[in-house]
Structure formats: C-alpha cells, structure tokens
Structure 1
Amino acid sequence: MRMPICPSLSSCRALLLLLLISACGTAPLGDGLYQVKSGDTLYSIARSTGRSVSELQRLNQLSDNTIQIGQILKVGSGSPGPQASTPAKPKPTPPPAAPPAKAPAIELAWPNKGPVLQGFNGKTNKGINIGGTAGSAIYAAASGKVIYAAQARGYGKLLIIKHNQDYLTVYAHNQQILVKDGESIKQGQNVAQMGNTDSDKVMLHFELRFKGTAINPSPYLP
C-alpha cells in the first residue's frame, strides 16, 4: 500500500492519527457522545448538536476551544448510569443563561469596509455578514494570537483570533488565509482574503465572542 506524502510535519501527524483511528475501528458511541472528525471545530459541533460552545466546554471540562481528531466529546446528557435504590428527586430546570448585560470593553476595527449584508440577531446569524469582492483584504479587528486557521464545516476557510481570556473574533468563508496557527497578530494586519468557501456568495462572516458566547459586534466597532 502506498502511503501519501505529507507536505509538513503537522499534516503527517494528523494523517497518522487518522490511520490509527481507522485501523482500530470505531466503537459505537453512546447517546450524547460525539467523536471529533477532520475539519470539525467546537463551533461546528455546537452548531450541529444544538449546543452552545460554553455548554460543550463545561460538559467536557475544556479550558479553551482546542479539540483533537478522534476525541470523544459529551454533547448531551448521555446514557444514564445505574439508578440508586432510592430515586433521586428531579432537579429544577435552570433558566437559560442570559448573555452578559455589559461585557468588558474591547475596541475593534472594521475587518473590511464593505457593506453589511446581514446584521447580528443571535439566532440565525451570530455575527455580521460583510459584502465585497473576492480577494479583497480582511484585517484583524484587534491584536491577538491565531488559534485556528484551517477549513471548517459550515464556515469554509476559517480564521479565529484570540485577543485575551474573554474575547476572540471569527472570520469565515475566506478565499485565502494569510497567517498561521499560533502567530501573533496586530490590529489592522491583513490576515486573509475575502471569498465564498462554504457560502453561496462572496462575503466575510465576522463574529465577536465573549467567553465562548457570540455577542453583537456592532457596538464595539467604530
């Protein structure tokens, strides 16, 4: 069997991990469990399972949004274990977590000067969609460090920049990403080119997230 040639050490590691997973076989997952596949992000898994990123972080005791191919994540209550002889009293359902009334301030710059095609509504659109031409420059909204720069299901070529412990920004559907995972970024730096990967039109889908929860970026933009 011919082994494919790896263009880089990181891609070799990812390929070896995929081969190991496929060689060992995949055991059936219980209810409420999900096995991470190539191209998954915590955002895409949350979107497909109807959970929020903060819920997945809490269920899996994740300190950030980093996940690995083959990792088993809890995405729901899972299969119940053996019941005690005395049935437990049902716990009251907690009220849904409200978004922060006033998140600490962060000053953002516009990632692109194109027209806003669709604004934030928190349900069908958890960011703003900015129109423009393919290949036009996309700029970092604030200084920080790249924590994701790769293809992601539903987001196309996706770039995520972490600014501090609370905030990160998301740049989706890029034609080309110009920075690498782990790279330090300055506000206003050209980090990507606008495109339409995994989208029906050329645009930038831009999100601002506070502690993993999408919030309206418009009040933070000049």
Structure 2
Amino acid sequence: MLGACLLRNIIRLFILLTQRFSVVAIACFLIVGCASDSFHYSNVANSRNSSTAPSTRSIPSSGIHRVQSGDTLFSIAFSYGLDYRNVASINGIAAPYIIYPNQKIRLRGSASRTASTASTSKTKPSTSAPKTVTKKTTEKVNSSSRPVSTVNIPEQKVSSWHWPIVGAVTKSFSNAGVSSKGIDIKGKNSEHVKAAADGVVVYAGNGLIGYGNLVIVKHNDVYLSAYAYNDRILVKEKQSVRAGDSLAIIGGKGSERPLLHFEVRRDGQPIDPLKVLPKQ
C-alpha cells in the first residue's frame, strides 16, 4: 500500500517537472526567436534598397509623369535622365520651378505647343465659373505648393571638382542599358559626404527608387551632382553649399557598407564622374 502511494507521488512529481520544463523551454525559444528577428530587421529594410540599382527610368508610353509628394522638377528630370530646363520649358514652368502633387508633367513635346494649350485651358474656365475655379486653385497652391529653389544658382563654370569622399572606386561608370549611371566609392563608417562643388541643394529625400536617401546639388545651368545611399541627410532643399560642405552621413546598400553612389549629370545626361574629378 505504501509502495503504491510512493510510486504515484513519484509519477506526479515527474509529470509536474516535465510540464515546468516545457514552459521554460517554450519561453526560451520565443525569447531567442524574438531577439533574432530584431537583430535582422535592419537587413530586411536594406534588402529593399539593394534589390534595385540606381538607373535612369524609361519614359512612360503616355509621356507624362504625375507628381508625387516630395518630387521636385529637378528630381523628376534627374530620374528620367532629362535636362530640367527642357522639362520646365515643355510644361511652361518658370523659376523657381514650383510644382504640385498630382500635377501632370509632360516629358515629351515642345514649348510652343504646351504654351498654346496652357493659354486655352486658362481662358476656358474664365467663361464658365471663374470664382469657383480661382478659389480651388488658391487653396491648392496654399496647401501643397513646393518651391524648389528661391536662391541664386551659380552661373559660372565649375572651377574645380572635389571628391565627395576619399576612397576606392568599387563600381565604375557605364552608360549602357540600366547599368550604373555613376560610380560607387568605398568609405569609412560615419564619414561625412561632401559637396563636390559650389551649388544649391535642389533635392533631399528618398523618393527615387534605387537611390535611398539622396541629395542632388545643382552647380549651374549645366551640371548636377547626386549623392546616394546616405544613412542620414544633413542639408535641406534650397540650401546653398560650398565645395567641401557636409551633405550627409555615408550609408550603403545591403551588405555594401559604408558606400557612396556618386553621379554627375551634364545637361541632364549622366557622364563618368572620373572625367571631372581630380586624380586621387
């Protein structure tokens, strides 16, 4: 009788210990799993950037780009490999090149045809309901106007170019297909990305696919330079900068860190930055 009671107690103790061990094991498994997920979270975000390389977009069959929040005339022209002056002329947009969300920007056409179309569209509403149309237009301008640049942009030639960071070029320029439209430069952790020449910041954001945190500097009517994959942007649009001023903190894409993607555009077209940069 005593032996049977003792056996039952041993079995109960064994079951109790087994249950407690299972709870602890499950808890440990969940903790380790959560820690692993948190550790790899940043890599998931980076994979989105590394899946698409910087490239010039193809012009849509419609020939029209609809403005998204954060776009500027310069970033739109840059993304399609066009000269911002031609895009502005086609659409009858004068300096300081103000555009609005959902606005249709024509990427093909001529200035004269666009101007006549614009004048027709302006006279038509005036005969129907001028007060209503004027009110809506005013509200739109006040709520979503986005001036790109209201500062004086240098008109003189770029006297000298400077390396945005000093480092080895890990990927060279290619103008074939959708290959790299600039160069990739290996840098150092937390290094500051510097302006390659005097100019004004005409874009600072992350709205262009494949470029991550991007800064575009306009040097004059001919040249633009672009600095991509930044970890953090230090400047704002419309800000004047001098050669050597800090624009951003270097970042990278995927496992390629720290890395800077650097581009130079002449009349809207990508050129090899090594042709204008001094030898290291």
TM-score (norm 1): 0.62
> For 1:178-217, what aligned pairs fall within 5 Å after superposition?
178-196=234-252, 199-200=253-254, 201-202=256-257, 203-217=259-273
Counterpart position of 1:219: 275
What RMSD, in angstroms, separates the aligned Cα atoms of the two structures? 2.8
Kindly state the Cα deviation for residue 62 of structure 1 after the two structures are TM-superposed.
Answer: 5.0
- Does 2:160 align with 1:107? yes
Q: For 1:191 and 1:47, how far apart are their aligned partners in 2? A: 18
Q: Is residue 112–residue 130 contact of structure 1 (8 Å, CA) maintained in 2?
A: yes
**What is the identity, as a one-letter code, of the residue corresponding to 2:268?**
G
Structure-2 change in CA distance of 1:178 and 1:122 (3 Å): same
List structure 1 segments (4+ residues) > 4 angstroms apart after TM superposition: 39-48, 55-59, 61-67
**What is the identity, as a one-letter code, of the residue corresponding to 1:136?**
E
Q: For 2:224 and 2:75, how far apart are their aligned partners in 1? A: 16
Q: Is residue 77–residue 268 contact of structure 2 (8 Å, CA) maintained in 1?
A: no
Q: Which of 169, 175, 178 is residue 231 of structure 2 equivalent to?
A: 175
Kindly state the Cα deviation for residue 135 of structure 1 after the two structures are TM-superposed.
Answer: 2.1
Count of aligned positions? 163
**What is the identity, as a one-letter code, of the residue corresponding to 2:106?**
K
Structure 2: any 5+ residue segments left out of the alignment?
A: 1-60, 110-156
| Helix, strand or coil at the partner of 1:187 | coil
Q: Which of 172, 182, 189 is residue 119 of structure 1 equivalent to?
A: 172
Greater helix fraction, Structure 1 or Structure 2: 2
Q: Deviations over 1:86-142 (max 9, x none)?
A: xxxxxxxxxxxxxxxxxx765211100121111111231111111224421111111
Q: Deviations over 1:25-48 (max 9, x none)?
A: xxxxx9333311124456775687
Greater strand fraction, Structure 1 or Structure 2: 1
Q: Deviations over 1:149-168 (max 9, x none)?
A: 12222211111111112112
| Helix, strand or coil at the partner of 1:152 | coil
Counterpart position of 1:70: 102
Q: For 1:175 and 1:147, how far apart are their aligned partners in 2? A: 19
Counterpart position of 1:88: none
Structure 1: any 5+ residue segments left out of the alignment?
A: 1-29, 78-103
**What is the identity, as a one-letter code, of the residue corresponding to 2:198?**
S
> For 1:34-183, what aligned pairs fall within 5 Å after superposition?
34-40=65-71, 51-54=80-83, 56-57=87-88, 59-61=90-92, 67-75=99-107, 106-123=159-176, 124-154=179-209, 155-183=211-239
Identity across the alignment (%): 37
| Helix, strand or coil at the partner of 1:107 | coil
| Helix, strand or coil at the partner of 1:112 | coil
Point out the structure with max Rg over C-alpha: 2
TM-score (norm 2): 0.51
Q: For 1:43 and 1:161, how far apart are their aligned partners in 2? A: 10
